Structure 1
Amino acid sequence: MPPLHSSLLQTLKSETRPHHERAERVVRLMEPGLTPAGYRCHLEALYGLYLPLESLLAARLAGRFPELRLPERWKLPLLEVDLRSFGHDEASLARLPRLPYPPPLHGEPEALGALYVLEGATLGGQLLLRHLTRHFEGLPVGGFAFFRAYGEAVGPMWKAFGEALTRACPEPALAPRVVRGAQDTFEAFEAWLREVHADAPSHL
C-alpha cells in the first residue's frame, strides 16, 4: 500500500493535470526569443500573483501547521530581490498590477491545494532555471533568486511538503477540497498570465 502522502499527491497530480498543462502553456520563459524585458515582465506578473496568494495562504494556514514550514516557503521576498535587480524599489513594487480575483480558498483544505501548486512550481522551476541561466549568460538580469528558491534543497523540501500535507489534511473526505483549491489556483495563474501577456508590448 503506498504511503498516504503519496496517494494524496498522486490524486492532486491526476486531478489537476489539464489545469497544470493549460497554465504551463502561458509561461513564455522557454521561448528562444525571450528578452531581458520579457523576463522582467514575467517576474512582475509573478509578483502580482504571489502577493495576494501568499497573503491568503498566511491567513488560512500560518500558525496552524508548523510542519509545513511556511516561513521558509514564501517566495515574495525572492521575487522582490529579482525585481530590484531590474531597478524596482518599494514605490514601484507597490504600483505593480496584482491579481484582482484570487482563488477563493474558503478553508484550510483549499489553501493546502493552492500551496501544492506553488510548491510544485518551485520544483518544476528548476528546468526553467537551467534554461534561463544559459539563455541570459553574461547579461545583467539578476541572480534568479525566485527560481533558485531552496537551492540544493528543492527535492528535500518537496518531499517534506508531501509528508506535511498529509499530516495537515489526513481525512480522505477532504481530498476533493484540496483538489479544488489546486484547480482554482492553476486557473487563476493561467488567467492572470494571459491577461498580462495581452497587455504587454508585442516586442516583449
Structure 2
Amino acid sequence: MDGAARAALRAATDAAHQRLHGLPGFVALAEGRIALPDYAVLLRRMLGFHAALESRLDAVEGLDTLGIDLAARRRTHLLRADLDWLGASAAVPLAPLPEIRGPAEAMGALYVAEGSTLGARQLARALDAVLPPGEAGRRFLIGHGERHGAMWRDCCAAIERCGVEPGARDAMIAGAAATFAAFEAWFTVPEAVPAA
C-alpha cells in the first residue's frame, strides 16, 4: 500500500508527469518507432539532465540518514555506455536545475528520478524493433536491473521517513515539482550542441 507522503507527491505532480509522457521523443520511443539518431539525441538530453541532478543531490547532506545511498542510484554511467555503443558523443551541456535546499527537497527530486525507472523498463522493451537483443544500447532504461524492485521500495520507505518531519512533506512536493518543471523545460528547448 502507498504511504501518505508518496501519495501526496503523486497527487501534487501527476499533471506534470502526464505532460512528460506526451513529449515527442518519449512518445516515439514508447511506440517503438524512434530512429537511432533520434534515440541518441534523447539519451544525450537525459544525460544532461541526470548528470546535473546527480551533482545537485551530491551537494545535499543528510540523505544517508534516510537510508539513501546516492552512489548506488547513479545512472549517468549507463547513459554514457549507451551513447558509446551508439557511437554518439557524451559531451553534453548540463540542464539548468534549481538549487536543492535540504534532504526533503532532495527526496522530492529523487522521487522524480527514481520514479522514472518504473516506466523506463517498459521503454527498454519498446526498443526491440531497433536494437539487437540484450542490454546494449538500453542499459539506462533497464536501470537497476535485478535490484530494481528493492531500490524502489527503499526509496519509498525513505520518502515516508522524511515525510513525518514537520514541513518536510511540503518541501518534498516543492522539490519534486521543481524537478519535473526543469525536466520539462530541458526537453522542450532545442539541443544546445549538435549530435555526433
TM-score when scaled to structure 1?
0.83
Which structure 2 residue ranges, 5 or more long, are not aligned? none
- Residue 123 of structure 1: aligned partner: 118
The counterpart of 1:97, out of the listed 93, 99, 104, is 93
Whether the aligned pair in 2 keeps the contact of 1:36 and 1:141 (CA below 8 Å) is: no
More divergent stretch after superposition (172-181 vs 35-44): 172-181
Number of the residue aligned with 1:45: 45
1:194 is matched with: 188
Q: Which one-letter code corresponds to 1:36 in the other structure? A: L
2:179 aligned residue: 185
Q: 1:151 matched to which residue of 2?
A: 145
Provide, for residues 144-165 of structure 1, a one-character-per-residue CA deviation record: whole Å limited to 9, x for no partner.
Answer: 1101111122122111111122
**Which SS does the other structure have where 2:33 is aligned?**
coil
**2:106 paired residue number:** 111
Q: How many residue pairs were aligned?
A: 192
Asked if 2 retains the 8 angstrom alpha-carbon contact of 1:49 and 1:189, the reply is yes
SS at match of 1:167: helix
Q: Deviations over 1:167-188 (max 9, x none)?
A: 3443152101100110111111
Structure 1 residues without counterparts, runs of 5 or longer: none
Whole-Å separation in 1 of the counterparts to 2:69 and 2:134: 32
Conserved? CA contact 1:45–1:196, under 8 Å: no
Q: Could you list the runs of 4 or more consecutive aligned residues of structure 1 that deviate by over 4 angstroms after TM superposition?
A: 197-201
CA contact (8 A) 2:66 2:161 kept: no
Amino acid at match of 1:122: T
| Cα-Cα RMSD | 2.6
CA distance in 2, matches of 1:139, 1:38: 19
